[in-house]
Amino acid sequence: LLVATVAANPPASAGAAPASPAPITPPAPGSGDRAALMDLFRKPMVEVFGAPIEFRVDLISVSGDHAFARVHPQRPGARPVKITFPCEATGEDISLEAFFLRRAGRWTWDTPADGHPSFCADDVTYWGDVLRKYGLPPQFVGAESYSD
């Protein structure tokens, strides 16, 4: 269990009381949050690779209405997907990362906004700006600093 706390929202002004910290927690396997986040990943991956798609999860962090996930798409039985287009990743090491927001009780894509995460090995996303925007620590995405 990752133990950290974050400010859900930065204070509106220097004199305002800070918001209550929201703990960073991974949603349990089989939970509604975890299923909803994996379903958001599933749609674009089925479009690219065809069904069925499962995910090996490296990291899922939830804090209040914010979530981050790093997953690897695969076929049932941990079989790799087949990449049929130019990409530096292989079916064994393909990785997806995304940042989500919960709005009106439903998880939605935040970054990437179009809901189509990049996944080739040369596609690098730096999460520092997104984390700062929401007042979240770098540990939320499994990093030691905002520049990781």
If one compares 14 and 72, the residue with the highest pLDDT of the two is: 72
Mean pLDDT throughout 135-140? 91
Q: Return d(Cα 19, Cα 1) in angstroms, integer.
A: 23
Averaged pLDDT of the chain: 81
Helices (H), 21-140: 32-49, 128-134
What confidence tens digit (pLDDT) does each residue in 73-82 have? 999 999 999 9
Q: CB-based burial of residue 114 (10 Å sphere; 0-12 exposed, 13-18 middle, 19+ buried)?
A: exposed
If one compares 97 and 123, the residue with the highest pLDDT of the two is: 97
Burial 73-82 (b: 16+ CB within 10 A, else e): bbbeeeeebe
Predicted TM-score (pTM) of this structure: 0.79
Residue 18 pLDDT > 50: no
Residue type, 90: T
Q: Would you call 7 helix, strand, or coil by DSSP?
A: strand
Q: CB-based burial of residue 13 (10 Å sphere; 0-12 exposed, 13-18 middle, 19+ buried)?
A: exposed
What confidence tens digit (pLDDT) does each residue in 20-52 have? 448 999 999 999 999 999 999 999 999 989 999
